[in-house]
Amino acid sequence: MPRLRLALAQTNPVVGDLVGNAAQIVQAARAASEAGADVLAVGEMALSGYPIEDLASRPSFLATASRAVATLAESLQDEGLGDLVVIVGHPDGPWEPRLLGTSNAPTAIAQNCASVLQNGRVEARYAKHHLPNYSVFDEYRVFIPGDDLLVLRIKGADVALIVCEDLWRDGGPLGRVLEADAGLLVVINASPFERDKDEVRVPLVTRRAVETNTTVAYVNIVGGQDDLVFDGDSVVVDGTGAILARAPQFAEHLLVVDLDLPDANPDADLPGNVQRVSLQVPERALGHLAAEVTQLPDDNEQLWNALVLGLRDYVRKNGFRSVILGLSGGIDSAVCAAIAADAIGADHVHGVSMPSQWSSDHSRSDADDLADNIGLHYSTEAIAGLVEPVETQLALTGIAAENLQARMRGVILMAKSNMDGHLVLTTGNKTELSVGYSTIYGDSVGGFAPIKDVPKLLVWELARWRNAAAAARGETPPIPEGSITKPPSAELRPDQTDQDSLPPYELLDAILDAYITRSLGRDDVVALGFDAETVDFITTLVDRSEWKRRQGAIGPKISGMAFGRDRRLPITYRPTE
Amino acid sequence: MPRLRLALAQTNPVVGDLVGNAAQIVQAARAASEAGADVLAVGEMALSGYPIEDLASRPSFLATASRAVATLAESLQDEGLGDLVVIVGHPDGPWEPRLLGTSNAPTAIAQNCASVLQNGRVEARYAKHHLPNYSVFDEYRVFIPGDDLLVLRIKGADVALIVCEDLWRDGGPLGRVLEADAGLLVVINASPFERDKDEVRVPLVTRRAVETNTTVAYVNIVGGQDDLVFDGDSVVVDGTGAILARAPQFAEHLLVVDLDLPDANPDADLPGNVQRVSLQVPERALGHLAAEVTQLPDDNEQLWNALVLGLRDYVRKNGFRSVILGLSGGIDSAVCAAIAADAIGADHVHGVSMPSQWSSDHSRSDADDLADNIGLHYSTEAIAGLVEPVETQLALTGIAAENLQARMRGVILMAKSNMDGHLVLTTGNKTELSVGYSTIYGDSVGGFAPIKDVPKLLVWELARWRNAAAAARGETPPIPEGSITKPPSAELRPDQTDQDSLPPYELLDAILDAYITRSLGRDDVVALGFDAETVDFITTLVDRSEWKRRQGAIGPKISGMAFGRDRRLPITYRPTE
């Protein structure tokens, strides 16, 4: 029974940075080699970052990426790591476009590949067969599907290789894994986090392992890339469904596991569309390694970690060193400040209190307390003297005057960003974005929206969780109790509260969940038992604020239906329903 | 030889407005019937509007749309139009999702259909086979492809029916048109305008007509829908390649043509996947109709008309009655004002001059002249007294102080919009957007960007064209000569011109065309003969301003590669090339 030592590396690539990403892979290979591994697998597109979007349609990018694969193989050899079998994901091309009749339409010229590197060479290559084109994925737009299955014979065991979506769908290469009777199936992935996805992903891996009676090794990238956060959570499951190894979420990590695999049948007829490549690896005398099996933390901690990594990587990968945000004393800005401090350190977080005549005493004191608790840089800019000349010159009243206050705060934050180079964070939550309860070019200004995909009720829940986690570690809870318990208010006029304009958040978030996350129509939402008039009011607000959302900052997706590339709806829309 | 009188109606649907769009179709059917037509065809998705994006994944929307088709058939019958064969495009569903193994991924539940209505019933239905999933199209995301070809036998002639992309691709239903030996091929379309597309589309129709020796009738919708402008330009070409009829661009229109078609062979064996439906139409004693063959206007007039319709329909379909924009005296705001006046009338256009201490005398006088020439509503708001308190309180200098001026202008326009309900237009051109030469939340504020897809050189060309067109009609040219001839300047500091920060526009637009429109990489752009340092400077600006473009207003696509859903690239991106 062949024993293979397999290493799975969760690297954190930056889209486009072929040199930097390759260096991460070389570093992982060195660690894998030192751990005595025979085979190292890194994630889907670990060499290019993921998703590369329409870079996949740029011939020069593909040519550069293809050269980078060969260069990586040579670098591994040069570093004395040539013995190690390294499986790496990358785009490949440019291929001749699939011709579309007389159309001059652009068409895919790339494949989504896993290459097998050893001894300074690319020994074999697999192209992803099933191309996801739903949710946040547009792979059918930019990739040509592959058709063959690749089986590597290593140490007398057969190792099949597929990419991400190939595991999720029946038929195609997965159907041939059974026929090929491989002992190990390696799946490389770029699978973004969303809430409860671990409840789908690991059961899927387990089911596939049992169905095919094959050990399945699943490796995922980590890190934030624009609105996606890749969570790692790589896992190895054997043919009985037992979890042999599992890596932590949201961290670069090398998972090493010893696998006792069935002997390959050297005389087996391979089914059609299966390519087999034999690779020699040196025999090593190593004892059995006890693999780690990381337990996932609870739901709120996972969500918090996703938000922290999403923000940290946006800041880091885009060359920022600090962030700035308005601190209103309310819950949203408090949670954003706490996320930012966890992501990049309080010393890189700048909070600005911008009180107006309508700001309550408790707002100012809650903002002060937040700044103290977290230890961030804190300043105050009163807006009355800036707002008054505009209000007077333009004779503004009502909503126009209210929005002016929010816009002047936006002007202040952007001016400070322009002076000092901070990234501006916008602190709107998903509930606000859903119904357009914000001032465009006012509180919406900023390059990143940390809680864009967090509904209001969940903002409160995460605040309580974060405070409790601090208390459990003997630290000061960051978020003032007043920010959590007081009625939410925009404080743009005297004694205003959110509930002057909106239903209670418990009701609002429930309707939004039905209409947005579950894509139910107006009638179907009413059929759940909600008041028809309230449903009409809310769904109309959602439809009419699409134009604002289109102009909003990106932020990390943590739900099954985030605004942005996940939910694509027209601005111009007259609902009949 | 059967003679068929065919009517093609260019309707202008609003996405979602099933009732209003159906009323347009009934109106077209009445006109077609009065003109003695046997068959009326309207465009792809004329009943729902196009593109419906992820509405196609909402079961309740599909169910409502499906009911609307039956209701439309009944309405036509009720109106005494039941004899007329009406071919109408619409989404159909919800179908059972195609099951994707164990995946819980959302998947298509709709088809993109053409239904044949007569005598109050849906007599036949065709589902689009080829689903475009490139450029601005995401049909593979939301639609299930059809497989059958539909042939209608009417007056002894065979009429085949396909949808849009089916005409562009070899194989599929188009391949079966030849086998089925139909005399007429009706293609319903939702094909957005782009520059020079008529040089591809009509030759394609002609080539298909000749290849299949079949008369091809091509009907397209018209109107603006968010960032797309559908141009109509419906055409009928016979099997020799002769254009029998052609409708005007950018206008709702009914094109009626008499077609002498070959007799259907009643004994012909139909190829597989072809359904044949016989329809009876009343014999009418009518003379031969001379069909119109509209000549397209020149390129600049087409572009201008596209921009005008794009703006008009955004205003109208979103319930606005007026627009407001800043008038700087420069060429961009002048062209936007002229487009707006052509679109909705000068009486609905509000221009605001917002001079600062750096505004030149000619800027103010050019803005005054523009307002006079066009006859729009004009007001002046000096910004010095509004900017000074902010600049002083925040101690702003340099870029921060320059941006503050632009942002205060944005505050003024949004405040006036909030007071009076105007749609704010943002006047940035494509060149500025490409390199990020604008102030986010400043001159970029607004709900619609009329010249977003117009590069700077083309802005000047269109200005000259529009003035010449006015002069040729004996009207006052709208755009002041000074706005066209003076060196462009943002006027945010003394004696500033655009060329302090950017290469000459001739060079800049050429590099941007290579990098953006043609998707060349940095090395390939340099290989065209441009200075490497300049190319690096420009491509870096383009890459780094993606975050600003993501937060920009939508505007009409007129090029082969518009910003927005046409060009999808990451914000977080470290180029290696």
What ipTM was reported for this prediction?
A: 0.96
Task: Indicate yes or no: CB of B394 within 8 angstroms of CB of A400.
Answer: no
CB under 8 Å to A292, separation ≥6 — which residues? A245, A246, A247, A255
Closest CA to A387 of A374, A402, A376: A402
Rounded mean pLDDT of B493-505? 90
Rounded mean pLDDT of A37-50? 98
Q: Among partner residues A15, A134, A550, which is closest to B105 by beta-carbon distance?
A: A134
**pLDDT interval class at A300 (50, 70, 90):** very high
d(CA B178, nearest CA chain A) in Å: 15
Q: Kindly give the residue spans of alpha helices, DSSP state H, lying in B156-295.
A: 165-168, 173-180, 198-212
Separation CA B418–CA B425 (nearest Å): 14
Q: Is the model's pLDDT at A102 over the cut of 90?
A: no
| Residue of chain A minimizing CA distance to B515 | A58
**pLDDT interval class at A402 (50, 70, 90):** very high
Task: Indicate yes or no: CB of A570 within 8 angstroms of CB of B52.
Answer: yes
Separation CA A87–CA B550 (nearest Å): 35
The percentage of chain B sitting over the pLDDT mark of 90, rounded to a whole number, equals: 85
C-beta of residue A448 within 8 angstroms of C-beta of residue A559: no
pLDDT digits (tens, 9 = 90+) for B238-250: 999 999 999 999 9
Side-chain-side CA neighbours of B558 within 13 Å: the count stands at 27
d(CA A196, nearest CA chain B) in Å: 12
Calculate the alpha carbon distances from A201 to A114, A556, A564, B103 in Å: 20, 20, 23, 9
Q: Is the model's pLDDT at B535 over the cut of 50?
A: yes
All residues of chain B having their beta carbon less than 8 Å from the beta carbon of residue A520 are: 58, 60
- State the pLDDT at residue A493: 87
Q: State chain B's mean pLDDT as an integer.
A: 94
- State the pLDDT at residue B105: 56
Q: Is the model's pLDDT at B299 over the cut of 90?
A: yes
CB under 8 Å to B371, separation ≥6 — which residues? B327, B337, B351, B353, B378
**pLDDT interval class at B56 (50, 70, 90):** very high
Cα B465 to the center of its chain, rounded Å: 21
| Residue of chain B minimizing CA distance to A413 | B394
Task: Indicate yes or no: CB of A415 within 8 angstroms of CB of B390.
Answer: yes
The encoded tokens of residue A227 equal 């609105």
- State the pLDDT at residue B265: 79
Give the containing element (helix H, strand E) for A522. helix A522-527
**pLDDT interval class at A98 (50, 70, 90):** low
C-beta of residue A452 within 8 angstroms of C-beta of residue A555: yes
Q: Is the model's pLDDT at A350 over the cut of 60?
A: yes
Cβ atoms within 10 A of the Cβ of A251, count?
Answer: 16
Phi, psi angle pair for A87, to nearest 5°: -100, 120
All residues of chain A having their beta carbon less than 8 Å from the beta carbon of residue B521 are: 58-61, 64
All residues of chain B having their beta carbon less than 8 Å from the beta carbon of residue A576 are: 16-19, 64, 68
Reduced to 3 states (helix: H, G, I; strand: E, B; else coil), residue B149 is strand
- State the pLDDT at residue B419: 98
Q: Is the model's pLDDT at B98 over the cut of 60?
A: no
Q: Is the model's pLDDT at A4 over the cut of 60?
A: yes
d(CA B151, nearest CA chain A) in Å: 22
- State the pLDDT at residue B99: 47
The encoded tokens of residue A413 equal 């934050």
pLDDT digits (tens, 9 = 90+) for A238-250: 999 999 999 999 9
Separation CA B314–CA A184 (nearest Å): 56
Separation CA B561–CA B539 (nearest Å): 16
Q: Is the model's pLDDT at B255 over the cut of 50?
A: yes
- State the pLDDT at residue A116: 98
**pLDDT interval class at B107 (50, 70, 90):** confident
- State the pLDDT at residue B100: 46
pLDDT digits (tens, 9 = 90+) for A193-251: 999 888 889 999 999 999 999 999 999 999 999 999 999 999 999 999 999 999 999 99
Rounded mean pLDDT of B557-569? 95
CB under 8 Å to A80, separation ≥6 — which residues? none
**pLDDT interval class at B103 (50, 70, 90):** very low
Residues pairing with B352 in the sheet: B326, B379
Calculate the alpha carbon distances from B565 to A541, B98, B136, B451, B559 in Å: 24, 26, 5, 16, 13
How many residues make up chain B in this entry? 577
The DSSP bridge pattern shows strands A111-118 and A121-127 to be antiparallel
Burial-class residue A464 by CB neighbours within 10 Å (0-12, 13-18, 19+). Answer: middle
Q: Is the model's pLDDT at B445 over the cut of 90?
A: yes
Reduced to 3 states (helix: H, G, I; strand: E, B; else coil), residue B19 is helix
* Residues of A catalogued as catalytic: 44, 128, 164
Separation CA A341–CA B573 (nearest Å): 24
- State the pLDDT at residue A176: 83
**pLDDT interval class at B188 (50, 70, 90):** very high
Task: Indicate yes or no: CB of B16 within 8 angstroms of CB of A575.
Answer: yes
Q: Is the model's pLDDT at A82 over the cut of 80?
A: yes
Between vectors from CA A296 to CA A87 and to CA A10, what angle results, nearest 5°? 20
Q: Is the model's pLDDT at A269 over the cut of 80?
A: no
Separation CA B500–CA A470 (nearest Å): 52
Task: Indicate yes or no: CB of B397 within 8 angstroms of CB of A389.
Answer: no
C-beta of residue B112 within 8 angstroms of C-beta of residue B45: yes
d(CA B438, nearest CA chain A) in Å: 13
Token pair 């007389």 in the structure block, residue: A102
Task: Indicate yes or no: CB of B567 within 8 angstroms of CB of A54.
Answer: yes
pLDDT digits (tens, 9 = 90+) for A313-327: 999 999 999 999 999
Separation CA A400–CA A474 (nearest Å): 46
Calculate the alpha carbon distances from B497 to B437, B460, B494, B512 in Å: 12, 16, 9, 20
Question: Angle at which helices B18-34 and B59-78 pack, to 10 degrees?
Answer: 30
Q: State chain A's mean pLDDT as an integer.
A: 94
- State the pLDDT at residue B362: 86
Q: Kindly give the residue spans of alpha helices, DSSP state H, lying in B296-452.
A: 299-317, 331-344, 361-374, 384-394, 398-420, 430-435
Looking at per-residue pLDDT, the higher value among A288 and A547 belongs to A547
C-beta of residue A485 within 8 angstroms of C-beta of residue A530: no
Which of B113, B139, B155, B164 does the annotation list as catalytic? B164
| Residue of chain A minimizing CA distance to B408 | A411
C-beta of residue B546 within 8 angstroms of C-beta of residue B569: yes
- State the pLDDT at residue B199: 84
How many residues make up chain A in this entry? 577
Q: Is the model's pLDDT at B187 over the cut of 60?
A: yes
Calculate the alpha carbon distances from A499 to A404, A490, A526, B141, B381 in Å: 21, 10, 21, 38, 36
Rounded mean pLDDT of A99-121? 79
